[in-house]
Amino acid sequence: MTGRWRTRLEAAVTARGRLCVGIDPHAGLLASWGLEDTADGLAAFADACVAAFADEVAVVKPQVAFFERFGSAGYAVLERTIASLRSARVLVVADAKRGDIGSTSDAYAAAWLDPSSPLASDAVTVSPYLGPGALEPFVRHASAHGAGLFVLARTSNPEGETVQTARTGSGETVAQHVVASAEAVNRDTGDAVAGLVVGATRGHGLDLRDFSGPILAPGLGAQGASADDLPALFDGVSKLLLPNSSRDVARHGPDVAALRDAARRVRDEVERALA
């Protein structure tokens, strides 16, 4: 990783648009592509995605769990996928949702953000629900290596609402407290190290007007959100908004050309909606 995270992200979205495409090779999707639910099937899926997305989108988000379930063989595929995408100048967000304390958190951060790691990515998703301070090792590694974080704030899954909209002692929601904590990181580091995960599937109820970092917005396509929903949901914070679509693009596989065309279509829909 060379250069500041925000600079690299701005250059990537200027060149290739704001769409973030997910690589989510769950068993049902492998089967729909005619692939076996094995590490070899996983590898064929990932290779097709790399070939389709490498020249078309700015950001790709592999869902780590779908690689992890195959153990060391799955991680070998993930390592190769990350390296191939980054060699093609695609920014990789590892969707690992890590979050712990102390030396454990430091080890997770090194695994996903240190350039010496075979899993080194441009950014990683993290959970703040052991307390924002537990993310300090991630902030430190991201700042040192020109990487980014996407902190879970208001996620697209309905069952997250109870926790995320609960009120703190000061009266703000937990999710709004996460937003404020992430912005404090950006002020302290002088870079947009901390981004947010804010689902695009419903009104999030957050005040994002003073937030300076990027926002990863899952939910396009299969989860019900459309590109036309984005301007109202993310008014004033769309410059570094990264709407995420996974299954809506992947259903066009395994043909690489069809996958590429689907990614272009969704990317262009996003850009038109946010223009």
What are the backbone angles phi and psi of residue 184, rounded to the nearest 5°? -65, -40
Q: Which amino acid is it at 95?
A: D
Which of the following is catalytic: 26, 69, 86, 97?
Answer: 97
Indicate the DSSP class of residue 138. Answer: H
- Whether 97 is catalytic is yes
| Contact by Cβ (8 Å): 195, 215 | yes
Reference 242, options 205, 196, 211, 209; nearest CA is 196
CA pair distance 264, 254, nearest whole angstrom: 16
Helix ranges (H only) for 54-170 are 65-68, 71-87, 102-113, 136-145, 161-164
DSSP letters for 202-218: S------TT--S-EEEE
In Å, what is the CA distance from 58 to each residue of 86, 147, 243, 268? 10, 15, 11, 12
Q: Rounded CA gap, 237 and 249, in Å?
A: 25
Residue 173 backbone phi and psi in degrees, to 5:
-75, 160
Which residue numbers are catalytic? 97
